[in-house]
DNA sequence: AATGAATGAGGATTCATTCAT
DNA sequence: AATGAATGAATCCTCATTCAT
């Protein structure tokens, strides 16, 4: 069987070539951003000639969009783990959940997922013709936002939707910021600690907003 | 009169050329980031030939560093306004101060200052040879960080220095995130509202940390 | 019935693929000339993958030669229609014939036959290695030239062969020119009118040459 | 003085470089047409690096347009020679003039002026986005057309303007055709003889049209 | 009869930078 | 203080063609 795989392998395996290209592109794009990612670099990194890259992807823009999509998908999978909890009080459970999620996010962001670094770089650009890759990131980010909204609604079932949206905006934005801080400061930055702070801050915020509404 | 005009305006003026170049570079770099900023584009935008840019700046890297420095300086000036407050209770005064500062930051970031957009883009990059411009941004960011630490220390004079540092890290990072959210969402994002949320969250956090320490 | 459809239509049909390729190639070559005609463009236009084109044609050169050949064949068929005429006087008949032919050519050239446009483009090129397609056009053009000589010989049976050749050269060349004028000017150019002028000019010319010879 | 020129020459002479580029481009474009003219070829032929060509011309299209413009200018200068004639009878003089002009055109076209070969190639193309070079040729051709109209009006002062226009269209188109015939056939084609035929044919045509009008 | 995948060469154009003036 | 001209290296991307299946 091994022999067979070896024999069949070389020459024309589209699926695998595509993957190799994406792997290389992720690396390069993570290192140097959109403009800094040159097809030649990707080609050198993946071993396929530049022209082959164009067989698999229409152009650089589409390649990078695919990079973001794949990287986000992987991150989301890693993020979506079962969340066993046996606390009786639902409020307590929700709080624990929030803290658990924060810890999980902190951990996953410590690996500096490429879609996020790349995506934020793209998000900060304002070029005349919006690259597909940027659109892809914004799309992907909306998915994350929705998940977060759901989690907050669960944390505070009695909060009105507008407030939920506001808090989830805040929560996501701050998470971006913490990620960047970690990118800048490296491991000097205690990402788990900061995310714990963040989780508590959010819990406080939700409480405050609920009290406001009650009053 | 003709003589006067000649004297006043046309005398090839280094200072003004430099300014024109920086103005153009700010625009372009804000639109397209570090790699996307080409000397030719800057030249076209400011009307001076590319070679003239090299008379004023050693190379592209130095030009962009200058852009960041100048933009940050302007922002800091705008930020550092007198902060009259006549409240008797220092705790109340500190709280007001925090909220006022948050409002001021929110307002200033709404104009999407170029140093911050550019700087964050640079911060997210990880290229082999660190550009001067990135270093400049990190420097400049440290200044902002110090100011913030001072403000938080004032808000909570009894907090231990490590906690102050941690909170100020969190505060600055989240502010970056909010800025990015505004960059992405445009004016749909209620920056003042989010910064108010942020200020309250920080106040809560400081209180929480203080109680912890007391206990 | 299903079986019938399958049998009638889908049986991968070489003849039809060839035709589709040629159809696409005619279009593209008509638009962009020899160098501008890329296999990829033809492939996109005909729906077959580029590699399939190489199954039917040795290389690009041969493909374009085939285009010219087929287009000229079709044109010649359309040109060679019965030419009923019952005039008694052979001279009168010949004149009518000449005018009729001119009208027919004018009409056929108004549809801008691709072989001619493409062929003239190729004829104007002077590249080191003569493409097969050019040779094909020159061959095809010789056929047209011979037909024209025959017609002129009929118009003026007493004209010496050298003069016939000269006039037919002139006639063909001018026809090319009129075609080009129509290509340039579109339907603003009254091709039938110009060809009528041309026919009369030829008749006059033939007469003049005959008189010369007589004198 | 000679020494001074020599000393000043080398390094950075924009005017001369531009001329060298145009010279090379004329050669190449004459050989291979629009698409066949590559910047690299031009660069190799003129000795300047490809990037220098872009200092002098915005892009390939503009370069070729410039080639056409210059080549036509030169041709027109060569064409516009004094035309001394002392015949008494104006009709005789006009006829002589026509024949003289035909001879001159024949001779000039024997050198296969580049603007005409290139221009005709471009004229035959029909690409979606019209190249500047094609527009330039059509412009330049209009100038030639106007000159020709004037000459014909002089040859037949009593001919109505519409007829003059028609004849001049015919005359120019046929001239294009004769030029192409010469391009195809090389020196086997007796261009002066054909142009003489053409001139006579035009004179006959003008006469015929005048008689028609009289009748 | 056809095609998915690959590929080296070359396409136009732009880059940051330099240098003589 | 400024600039016209030049340049080698790099950019993205397309080309004609091949080959295993």
- The percentage of chain B sitting over the pLDDT mark of 70, rounded to a whole number, equals 90
The residue of chain B with its CA nearest to that of A189 is: B169
Q: What share of chain D is helix, strand, coil (3-state, %, to 5)?
A: 80, 0, 20
Q: In chain A, which residues from 42 to 71 place their CB closer than 7 Å to nucleic acid strand E? A: 48-52, 54-56
**Out of A31, A126, A141, whose CB is closest to B30?**
A126
For the domain bounded by D2-57, which CATH number is listed? 1.10.10.60
The residue of chain D with its CA nearest to that of C168 is: D194
Answer yes or no: do A200 and B177 touch at CB < 8 A: no
Tell me, in Å, how far CA of A112 is from C1' of F10? 30
Please tell me if residue A29 touches chain B, with a CB cutoff of 8 Å: no
At C45, list the tokens: 């236009």
Cα separation of A165 and A159, whole Å? 10
- Is D68-214 the same fold as D2-57? no
Nearest CA among A64, A65, A70 for reference residue A37: A64
Nucleotides of F under 7 A from a protein CB: 1-21
Answer yes or no: do D173 and C178 touch at CB < 8 A: yes
Q: For chain A, which residues score pLDDT lower than 70?
A: 1-12, 81-85, 87, 214-215
CA B153, distance to chain mean position in Å, is 21
Q: Is the pLDDT of residue B123 over 70?
A: yes
SS (H, E, C) A14-54: HHHHHHHHHHHHHHHHHHHHHHHCCHHHHHHHHCCCHHHHH
Confidence grade of residue B130 (pLDDT, cut at 50, 70, 90): confident
Pair B181, B166: CB distance under 8 Å? no
For the domain bounded by C10-57, which CATH number is listed? 1.10.10.60
Task: Quote the pLDDT of residue D6.
Answer: 33
Positive/negative CA dihedral, C160, C161, C165, C168: positive
Secondary-structure class of domain A68-214 per CATH = mainly alpha
Name the closest residue (CA) to the C1' of nucleotide E12.
D39
- The predicted-structure confidence for A11-22, as pLDDT tens digits, reads as follows 568 899 999 999
Please tell me if residue D27 touches chain C, with a CB cutoff of 8 Å: no
At B71, list the tokens: 């933009």
**Out of B172, B180, B202, whose CB is closest to A124?**
B180
Please tell me if residue C120 touches chain D, with a CB cutoff of 8 Å: yes
Collect all residues of chain A within an 8 Å Cβ-Cβ radius of residue B201: 170, 201-202, 204-205
Collect all residues of chain C within an 8 Å Cβ-Cβ radius of residue D169: 181, 189, 194
Confidence grade of residue C96 (pLDDT, cut at 50, 70, 90): confident
Nearest CA among A173, A108, D3 for reference residue B198: A173
Pair D154, D86: CB distance under 8 Å? no
Tell me, in Å, how far CA of C121 is from C1' of F18? 30
- The predicted-structure confidence for C14-71, as pLDDT tens digits, reads as follows 889 999 999 999 999 988 888 889 999 999 999 999 999 999 999 999 999 999 999 9
Determine if strand E comes within 7 Å of the CB of A13.
yes
Q: Is the pLDDT of residue B83 over 70?
A: no
Please tell me if residue A202 touches chain B, with a CB cutoff of 8 Å: yes
Positive/negative CA dihedral, C16, C19, C21, C27: negative
Nearest CA among C39, C28, C184 for reference residue C114: C28
Confidence grade of residue B6 (pLDDT, cut at 50, 70, 90): very low
Cα separation of C200 and B121, whole Å? 76
Please tell me if residue D142 touches chain C, with a CB cutoff of 8 Å: no
How many other C-beta atoms are found inside a 10 Å radius of the C-beta of residue B36?
A: 17
- Nearest nucleotide to C61 by CA–C1' distance? F16
Positive/negative CA dihedral, C78, C82, C87, C93: positive
Cα separation of A173 and A134, whole Å? 17
Chain C closest-CA separation from residue D49 CA (Å): 23
Task: Quote the pLDDT of residue B5.
Answer: 41
DSSP for residue A111: T
How many other C-beta atoms are found inside a 10 Å radius of the C-beta of residue A83?
A: 11
The verdict on domain C69-214 having CATH code 1.10.357.10 is yes
- The predicted-structure confidence for C118-164, as pLDDT tens digits, reads as follows 999 999 988 778 889 999 999 999 999 999 999 899 888 889 999 99
Pair C121, D125: CB distance under 8 Å? yes
Burial of residue A19 (number of CB atoms within 10 Å: 0-12, 13-18, 19+): middle
Cα separation of A118 and A34, whole Å? 7
Angle between helices D60-79 and D14-36 (to 10 degrees): 100
Determine if strand E comes within 7 Å of the CB of D6.
no
- The predicted-structure confidence for D115-146, as pLDDT tens digits, reads as follows 899 999 999 988 878 899 999 999 999 999 99
Confidence grade of residue D10 (pLDDT, cut at 50, 70, 90): very low
Collect all residues of chain B within an 8 Å Cβ-Cβ radius of residue A133: none
- The percentage of chain C sitting over the pLDDT mark of 70, rounded to a whole number, equals 90
At A9, list the tokens: 């392998």
**Out of C124, C178, C189, whose CB is closest to D117?**
C124
Cα separation of B185 and B12, whole Å? 43
D61 HSE (CA, 13 A, CB side): 8
Nucleotides of E under 7 A from a protein CB: 1-21
Pair C133, C65: CB distance under 8 Å? yes
Answer yes or no: do A194 and B124 touch at CB < 8 A: no
Confidence grade of residue B85 (pLDDT, cut at 50, 70, 90): low
Please tell me if residue C36 touches chain D, with a CB cutoff of 8 Å: yes
**Out of B117, B127, B141, whose CB is closest to A32?**
B127
- The predicted-structure confidence for A37-51, as pLDDT tens digits, reads as follows 999 999 999 999 999
Q: Is B131 left (phi over 0), alpha (psi -120 to 50) or beta?
A: beta
Please tell me if residue A30 touches chain B, with a CB cutoff of 8 Å: yes
At C212, list the tokens: 């010369």
- Would you kindly state where each structural domain of chain B is located, as residue ranges? 2-57, 68-214
- Nearest nucleotide to B18 by CA–C1' distance? F1
Collect all residues of chain B within an 8 Å Cβ-Cβ radius of residue A61: none
Chain C closest-CA separation from residue D91 CA (Å): 19
How many other C-beta atoms are found inside a 10 Å radius of the C-beta of residue A143?
A: 12
Pair C137, C34: CB distance under 8 Å? no
Cα separation of C174 and C195, whole Å? 9
Residues 6+ apart with CB under 8 A from B112: B30, B179, B182, B183
Confidence grade of residue C84 (pLDDT, cut at 50, 70, 90): low
- The predicted-structure confidence for D33-51, as pLDDT tens digits, reads as follows 888 899 999 999 999 999 9
Residues making up chain C, counted from first to last: 215
Mean of the per-residue pLDDT values for chain D? 87
Answer yes or no: do C36 and D35 touch at CB < 8 A: yes
SS3 B2: helix
Answer yes or no: do A178 and B181 touch at CB < 8 A: no
Positive/negative CA dihedral, B26, B28, B29, B31: positive
Determine if strand E comes within 7 Å of the CB of B60.
yes
B-contacting chains (≥3 CB pairs under 8 Å): A
Tell me, in Å, how far CA of B40 is from C1' of E14? 9
Chains C and D touch (3+ CB pairs under 8 A): yes
* Whole-prediction pTM: 0.86
Answer yes or no: do B32 and A120 touch at CB < 8 A: no
- Nearest nucleotide to C35 by CA–C1' distance? F15
Q: Is A151 left (phi over 0), alpha (psi -120 to 50) or beta?
A: alpha
Calculate ∠ Cα D29-D32-D36, nearest 5°. 90
Answer yes or no: do D32 and C127 touch at CB < 8 A: yes
Calculate ∠ Cα B80-B81-B82, nearest 5°. 125
Calculate ∠ Cα D112-C182-D135, nearest 5°. 60
Task: Quote the pLDDT of residue B196.
Answer: 94
Task: Quote the pLDDT of residue C31.
Answer: 85
Please tell me if residue D54 touches chain C, with a CB cutoff of 8 Å: no
Nearest CA among C35, A188, B159, B154 for reference residue D125: C35
At A195, list the tokens: 């995310």
Pair C105, C191: CB distance under 8 Å? no
Cα separation of B149 and B172, whole Å? 9
């Amino acid at each position: 069987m091994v022999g067979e795989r070896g024999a069949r392998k070389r020459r024309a395996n589209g699926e695998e070539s595509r993957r190799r290209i994406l792997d290389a592109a992720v690396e390069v794009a993570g290192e140097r951003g959109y403009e800094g990612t040159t097809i030649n670099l990707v080609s050198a990194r993946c071993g396929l000639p530049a022209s082959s890259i164009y067989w698999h992807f229409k152009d650089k823009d589409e390649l990078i969009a695919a990079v973001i999509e794949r990287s986000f998908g992987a991150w989301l999978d890693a993020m979506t783990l079962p969340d066993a909890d046996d606390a009786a009080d639902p409020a307590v459970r929700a709080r624990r959940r929030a803290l658990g999620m924060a810890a999980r996010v902190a951990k996953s962001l410590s690996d500096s997922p490429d879609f996020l670094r790349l995506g934020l770089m793209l998000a900060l650009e304002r070029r005349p013709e919006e690259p597909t890759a940027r659109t892809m990131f914004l799309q992907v980010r909306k998915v994350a936002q929705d998940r977060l909204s759901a989690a907050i609604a669960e944390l505070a079932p009695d909060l009105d939707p507008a407030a939920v949206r506001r808090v989830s905006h805040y929560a996501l934005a701050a998470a971006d910021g913490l990620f960047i801080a970690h990118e800048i400061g490296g491991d000097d930055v205690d990402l788990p600690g900061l995310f714990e702070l963040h989780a508590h801050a959010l819990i406080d915020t939700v409480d405050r907003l609920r009290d406001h509404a009650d009053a």
